[in-house]
Amino acid sequence: MVDRLAERLLPQRCRRCEAGTGGPLLCEPCVLDLPWNDAACARCALPMTAPGICPACLHRAPRFDAAWAAFRLQPPIQHGVHALKYHADFGQARLLGELMARRLQARDAPLPELLVPVPLHPLRLMRRGYNQAAEIARVIARACSIALDLDGARRVRRTEDQIGQSRAARRRNMRGAFVVRTDLAGRHVALVDDVMTTGATFDELARACRAAGAVRIEAWAAARTP
C-alpha cells in the first residue's frame, strides 16, 4: 500500500539505472538491453541464431501450437525469476509480466481468450504459499484484458525433479500430471509459466487442455533455458 502510494507520488525511476522513466519500471535503454529471446523456434521457443523451427520440433512437434518465451534465462532475468520463485519477490512478477504484455500487445496474431498458468501440485503450493506462474499470468491478464483461469487446471501427480533429464524422459515423467476441469471447447488459450526448459510440462498441460476442447494452445514463458 505504502509502495503503491509512493509510486504514484514520486516520479518513477528505472529499477536498474535510476533514470527517470515517466511510468514504466525500466527505462527504454535498459529494456532493450535485456536478453530478449527474439531468434527462437516458433514451436518450442528454443533459442536459435535465426527464427524458424528447430530440429527436435521437426522430428516431433509439441502438443501446443506455438511457444513464446520473452527472454533467455540469463542475467538479469535469471535473477528476477529466481527472486520471484524462491523469495516471493512479487515486484519481479510485475516487471516480467509487464514486459511480456508489451510484446504481446504489439504482435500481429490474435491474443488468446484465456490464460492458464501452469499449476503447482497442491502440496508444493501450500509450502511455497503462491504460484509464481500465476503471479506472472495475473499481470499479463490485466494488462492485455485476457481472462485468467486460476483453478481450472490441477496438478494431480507430483513429478520428480527433472533437472538433467532428457526431453523424452521428462515427457514420460510428466504423463498424466494435469487435469483440466474448465470447458475449453472451441477456445484459444495460452499456458503461462515462469521458465520453459524442454517444454515437457507445457506439453502435458496442453494434452489436458486439448482433451478439454481447446482448439488453439500457445505456451508462454517469461524465460527459456538454452
Least separation, in Å, of the C-beta of 115 and Zn ion?
Answer: 22
95 forms part of the interface with Zn ion (CB under 5 A): no
C-beta of residue 71 within 8 angstroms of C-beta of residue 40: no
- The residue type of 55 is P
**Piece of 49-57, 90-98, 114-122, 177-185 that binds Zn ion (CB under 5 A):** 49-57
Least separation, in Å, of the C-beta of 133 and Zn ion?
Answer: 21
214 forms part of the interface with Zn ion (CB under 5 A): no
The DSSP line for 122-180 is HHHHHHHSS-HHHHHHHHHHHHHT-EE-SSSEEE-S-----TT--HHHHHHHHTT-EEE
27 forms part of the interface with Zn ion (CB under 5 A): yes
Q: How many residues bind Zn ion (CB under 5 A)?
A: 12
- The three-point CA angle 95-22-195 to 5° equals 10
136 forms part of the interface with Zn ion (CB under 5 A): no
Q: What residues contact 33, with CB distance under 8 A and at least 6 apart? A: none
221 forms part of the interface with Zn ion (CB under 5 A): no
Least separation, in Å, of the C-beta of 11 and Zn ion?
Answer: 14
By beta-carbon proximity to Zn ion, the closer residue of 76 and 213 is: 76
169 forms part of the interface with Zn ion (CB under 5 A): no
Residue of 25, 34, 40, 57 interacting with Zn ion (CB under 5 A): 57
- List the one residue out of 14, 10, 32 whose CA is nearest residue 24: 14
- List the one residue out of 179, 171, 202 whose CA is nearest residue 43: 202
167 forms part of the interface with Zn ion (CB under 5 A): no
List residues binding Zn ion (CB under 5 A): 14, 16-17, 19, 27, 30, 41, 43-44, 46, 54, 57
